[in-house]
Structure 1
Amino acid sequence: MPEWILPVLVPVAAALAGMLVVLAFRPRGNDGVALLADRMDALSQRLDGAVAAQNERLARSLAESADRTQDSARRIHERLAVIDAARANIEALGTQVTTLSGILGNKQSRGAFGEVQLRDMLADRLPADGWAWQYTLASGVRCDALIRLPFPPGPIAIDSKFPLEAWQALRAAPDDAARALAQRRLATDIRRHVDDVATKYIRPGETAEGALIFLPSEALHADLHAVHGGLVQEAARRGVYLVSPGTLWAVLGAMRALMRDVRLRAEAQHLRLEVSRLAEETGRLDRRVANLKRHFAEMQQDVQQIEITAQKITAAGARIEAVEMDPPSPMKAAAQ
């Protein structure tokens, strides 16, 4: 039953009940009819007023309900828009995951993906002259990257083509037998790849006594340490270290600090040489100033000797001017 019917029915029922009471006890004659008519008019007016008030309240309630409904519809539309955007993002992410799965599933694409990731990290963390890409060693073997560290430890080669087929088979194994087979295959792949890197990329006198294998997945790095920790330690004893993007980031930070320290030591040595040269030039300047002072003192002495000689010459000239070269006259002789 609608909510607005009950408030309307109550006054109507009350009016009908009053009418029945009046009719039951109405007096006989015209006065009773007139009185009943007056009461019916009054009751009708009150009923009209109650109905009008109820209609007004009903209209106001309907208007408020319409406003609330519009507001709810607006919020629903907003949430639907957010849901549509989230759905589009999820679909795009699904496409990207599918693409990434295809990249990791293909050996050549996976190698290219690892190389791009490795190259971006090297370019971001190391100076341009601190590393080389696709560097060819003296043996003719080309490594994916070479980090130019000074001896010791020396340049470090990096490989980024770790086989992932056995690891993917291990993660997708449906039962224990398939899992055990995938683990044995993964152990064989690890030993073979570590042996290749240790043989090709560790060259005494040319590179450091170690090399790095870059794993483009943190999950693969964690699984290898958890499932094949003994093989990881065996590789480390041979000088081959498995690094993930996170660990390589830290390793490159340490290498950059080492390169900066080497550069600072070289600059300090250069500065020390320049200071030594400056001290030598300062000593040479002191000697030349001392010679100049000596020459200046000798020059002053020579000037003094020249002044003395000039004074003597002047005095001699004065004496010469005072000498009477002509013979004395007779008058001067008589006077004498």
Structure 2
Amino acid sequence: MNELSNVLAEPIARFGATVVTLGQALLLGAALFLILLVVLVVALWRSAHARRLAAAEAADHTREMEGRMASIMQAQAEMQGRLGTVADVFGARQAELTQSLSQRLDAMTGRIGQTMAEQTRSTHENLAKLQERLAVIDTAQNNIQSLAGQVVQLQAILSNKQTRGAFGQARMEAIVADGLPSGSYQFQATLTNGNRPDCLVTMPNDSPSLVIDAKFPLESWNAIRAAEGTDAQRAATQSFRRDVEVHIRDISEKYLLRGETQDTAFMFVPSESIFAEIHENFEALVQRAHRARIVIVSPSLLMLSIQVIQAILKDARMREQAHLIQGEVVRLMEDVGRLDERVRKLQTHFGQAAKDIDDILVSSNKVTRRGQKIEALEFAAEGEFAQETTEPKASPRTVESPQGTLRLRVVDEA
């Protein structure tokens, strides 16, 4: 026993200051074994219990599934019966639907046939109207072709220098004749140097006449429009610029005569678009014309200038008649003076009438007050009088009456 005790007390391991003996190690191993054994027994018991529970649940689940299968079979049988009923109802409804569809298709076919007939009739009517409109369009096309021919004729007229000058001359003459009175202008008048400008406008106060020229080089402008390519365009532009410069020089040399014509002349351009193009793209020509005292005018500017000249002529005619106007004004002032005197007399009469009306109103007020006092008369027996009031200038008067003595109090007022 001692040897066993010594063996058990023999140390086998050391952990820091703690010494583990063989006996302690055996006791620890025995304890661990017992713990493992207990754990194994508990695990086996739990496993057996779980298997019993699983078996019971499986049996319950089997019974439940059998019940459900029975219910499903019963429901399937009921469903088969209902499906048979539904099949019968569906067959009847299908027959009714087929009949209804047949009736509706017949009605729709009839309506479609009627609609197609109406549509066909409407189409025929529209085609007839379309043919009429096409006939109108053909007529309009013929008119357009006629107008195109007239435009070609106009282009031919404008391409000819003489006819082009006549066209510009006609427009200028129409504007001048519409804006100025007859006798204040002359067409194709002859100057002292033998030249004949297109129009001479007579200015007032023996001033020199204003020259208007209508011969614009329109063919050079048309050449610019018809030019194709950069080189042709440049050549046409140079030719137009040169022709206009020559025309400006001719106007300046032929028509600007000291003492006979104004030192400024108008060069008429018969188109607003050409006038705008010149001022936009040929500024040098405009400046050259200004230096030569030539004003380039379009139809609208010429019309405005003619209206200004008309106003100047009207002012001159008014100045010529100034002494007559002055005499009329003097006589008018005399009439106004007499009118003022008569108005003042009338005002005096109105003032006197107003004063008389005020006096009449004072008298009527007195009469009204006296009447009110007469309405307030008091009757009393003889010997009895109403108490007198202290009013100024009052004098009592008595009047005999069957009822007694009437005492009347009269107040005299100024």
SS of the counterpart of 1:213?
strand
**1:126 aligned partner:** 180
Question: Residues 187-336 of structure 1 correspond to what in structure 2 (within 5 A)?
Answer: 187-272=241-326
Contact 1:152/1:208 (8 A) holds in 2? no
The 8 Å contact of residues 215 and 244 in structure 1, kept in 2 or not, is answered as yes
Aligned to 2:223: 169
Task: Report the equivalent of 1:89.
Answer: 143
Determine whether 1:157 maps to 2:216: no
1:222 CA drift (Å): 2.1
**Larger RCO, structures 1/2 (Cα 8 Å, 6+ apart):** 1
Structure 1 unaligned regions, length at least 5: 1-45, 280-336
What secondary structure, in the 3-state scheme, does the structure 2 residue paired with 1:195 have?
Answer: helix
Partner SS for 2:197 = strand
Residue-by-residue CA offset, 1:131-186 (whole Å, 9 max, x unaligned): 11111112222111111122586421111112223222222221222222222222
Indicate the larger mover: 49-58 or 94-103: 49-58
SS of equivalent residue, structure 2 residue 186: strand
CA distance 1:49–1:169, change in 2 (3 Å): closer
Letter in 1 for 2:250: D
CA 62–269 in structure 1, closer or farther in 2 if over 3 Å, else same: same
State how many pairs are aligned.
235
TM-score, scaled relative to structure 1: 0.61
1:217 deviates by 2.2
Structural RMSD (CA): 3.1
Q: 2:167 aligns with which of 113, 117, 127?
A: 113
Shift of 1:245: 1.6
For the structure 1 residues 56 and 178, does the alpha-carbon distance in structure 2 shift closer, same or farther, using more than 3 Å as the test? closer
Q: Which residue pairs with 2:10 in the alignment?
A: none
The structure with the greater share of residues assigned to helix is 1
Distance 1:63 1:278 in 2: 89
Secondary structure of the 1:179 match is: helix
Shift in alpha-carbon separation, 1:173–1:209, aligned structure 2, 3 A: same
Unpaired runs of 5+ residues, structure 2, are: 1-99, 334-414
Question: Deviations for 1:259-280, whole angstroms, at most 9, x for unmatched residues?
Answer: 222222223344336778999x
Provide the TM-score with structure 2 as the length reference: 0.51
Q: Which has the higher strand share?
A: 2
Whichever residue aligns with residue 284 of structure 2, its letter is G
> What is the aligned partner in structure 1 of residue 152 from structure 2?
98
C-alpha spacing 1:82/1:141, structure 2 compared with 1 (3 Å):
same
Task: Report if the CA contact (8 A) 2:158-2:219 is conserved.
Answer: no
Max Rg structure? 2
Structure-2 separation of matches of 1:131 and 1:244:
19
Residue matched to 1:325 = none
Q: What is the percentage of aligned positions where both structures have the same residue?
A: 38
In structure 2, relative to structure 1, the CA distance for the partners of 1:273 and 1:134 (3 Å cut) is: farther
Give the counterpart letter for 1:119 in structure 2: E
CA distance in 2, matches of 1:142, 1:243: 20
What's the secondary structure of 1:136's corresponding residue? coil
